[in-house]
Structure 1
Amino acid sequence: MESLYILIPIAIFFVIIAVAIFFWAVRSDQFEDLERQGMNVLLDDDDPPASKSTSQPAAKQADNADVKPRDES
């Protein structure tokens, strides 16, 4: 029975903290746009695929840019 004298004020303290956090979230517009996060899953912003007109990856092309062509004469 004596434990209730400790547990009830602790429970009231936690309820006050939970209510304060809830009102803070409402005031800071945490619940303003509930659908946006659900739509973000469906609308991925993936990078467009690389163009297939080049035969070498960009890293190899950069390495070959410094190489001078042979003089075959």
Structure 2
Amino acid sequence: MTSLVFLIPIALFLGGLGLVAFLWSLKSGQYEDMDGAAQRILIDDDELEGRKDGR
């Protein structure tokens, strides 16, 4: 029973910390471009290097 005195506040703190991290990621734009990441995996690395060189 005495262990619950320590575990409940720790669990609430970690849950609040996770919520704050999630809200921060929403405000910083982490979830803005969901389709871009899905399309980038289909592009060849050679094509990207050619674009950087200006070809």
Could you state the TM-score of these two structures normalised by the residue count of structure 2? Answer: 0.78
Q: Tell me which protein shows more helix as a share of its residues.
A: 2
Flag the structure with more relative contact order, 1 or 2, with Cα contacts below 8 A and sequence separation at least 6. 2
Q: What 5-or-longer segments of structure 1 have no aligned partner? A: 49-73
Whichever of the two has the greater Rg, that structure is: 1
Q: Give the % identical residues.
A: 40
Cα RMSD (Å) = 1.3
Runs of 4+ in structure 1 off by over 4 angstroms are: none
Aligned length: 48
Q: What 5-or-longer segments of structure 2 have no aligned partner? A: 51-55
Could you state the TM-score of these two structures normalised by the residue count of structure 1? Answer: 0.60
